[in-house]
Chain A
Amino acid sequence: NAGVTQTPKFQVLKTGQSMTLQCAQDMNHEYMSWYRQDPGMGLRLIHYSVGAGITDQGEVPNGYNVSRSTTEDFPLRLLSAAPSQTSVYFCASSRSGVTDTQYFGPGTRLTVL
């Protein structure tokens, strides 16, 4: 099993550009989520999904869109990148909800110039 995979590992964008961070899991997990990690702030929840076709906002959703058309994939879209979105992004999945063990991907380091 590959677990949770994220692509790309690194990305540099210019202000105003858009891009999609990919996340896939092969564990048939219903719950998937996206976090950003900033120094001293821990991980903050951006969006989450409890199943295909169902998404909801987390703590810091502004500037990001998500969709969940399949159980396996949960892409995160940056609509118009801003320097404040420079961060490390982690995708995670679990069988159902955050009280189950969440499995994290290796992360995507994004720099917005």
Chain B
Amino acid sequence: EAQVTQNPRYLITVTGKKLTVTCSQNMNHEYMSWYRQDPGLGLRQIYYSMNVEVTDKGDVPEGYKVSRKEKRNFPLILESPSPNQTSLYFCASSFAGGQYEQYFGPGTRLTVT
């Protein structure tokens, strides 16, 4: 089954404790992105990757890191999480760029206390 998977689905952590949210897709897609969703602010892109080893900042990259060592995986790293990073996070992928249909993962609910 074609899908985007994320882990963990739920995470509660404390300020400053490094964490990684994994994302994997099995559709051989070139593009992958991370979004966060917040009430009243909607969905905003954090980082995106056009291909292996090619990543760039989206609209709200501060406090996040990403890497794309393999085509299928695109982990999101929070080196020192803060409470303002409490949010619902989505990974997405598409064949190539915005002109193709995008597929989203199930989301990761992160709470930073």
A and B interact? no
**B residues bordering A, Cβ < 8 Å?**
none
